[in-house]
């Protein structure tokens, strides 16, 4: 009987955590259609090693950061990204931070599920429904 109560308590706890997570995700606005489009275009340019087109939607600061000295890293990353179509794509987190004396940051994390891999793609803008210029990107690949 005690095991059943413990199991039921665990299920109820996990369900409440899921609801809290959904509420937190929904408390920050979704990216604008323009921001969504730019984020997807940049991801596609990276997957296809289209480096000239990749930086068109970057802020000047990010363009400088992704200069010639980082070209080898970009090429290596582009080769490691799956070339097949993804099965699902979803937003897994959204964060908006404002601090006095610093520019605001709106970070959106996408999860691309592939047959053998999972790719987390983080892209930062100035604010929700703000500029479509990308301030920062980060990609992590999980799996094979």
16-33 tens-digit pLDDT = 544 444 444 467 999 999
Helix (H, G, I), strand (E, B) or coil at 5: helix
Q: Which residue has the tokens 């937190």?
A: 24
pLDDT digits (tens, 9 = 90+) for 93-139: 999 998 787 889 999 999 999 999 999 999 999 999 999 999 999 99
Q: What is the pTM of this model?
A: 0.77
d(CA 141, CA 53): 22
d(CA 74, CA 70): 6
């Amino acid at each position: 009987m005690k095991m059943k109560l413990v199991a039921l308590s665990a299920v109820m706890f996990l369900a409440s955590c899921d609801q809290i997570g959904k509420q937190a995700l929904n408390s920050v606005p979704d990216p604008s259609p323009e921001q969504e489009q730019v984020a997807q275009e940049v991801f596609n340019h990276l997957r296809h090693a289209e480096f000239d087109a990749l930086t068109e939607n970057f802020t000047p600061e990010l363009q400088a950061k992704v200069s010639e000295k980082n070209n080898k890293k970009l090429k290596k990353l582009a080769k490691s990204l799956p070339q097949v179509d993804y099965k699902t794509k979803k937003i897994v987190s959204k964060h908006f931070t404002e601090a006095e004396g610093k520019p605001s940051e709106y970070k959106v994390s996408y999860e691309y599920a592939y047959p053998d891999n999972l790719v987390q793609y983080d892209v930062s803008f100035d604010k929700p429904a703000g500029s479509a210029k990308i301030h920062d990107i980060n990609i992590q690949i999980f799996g094979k």
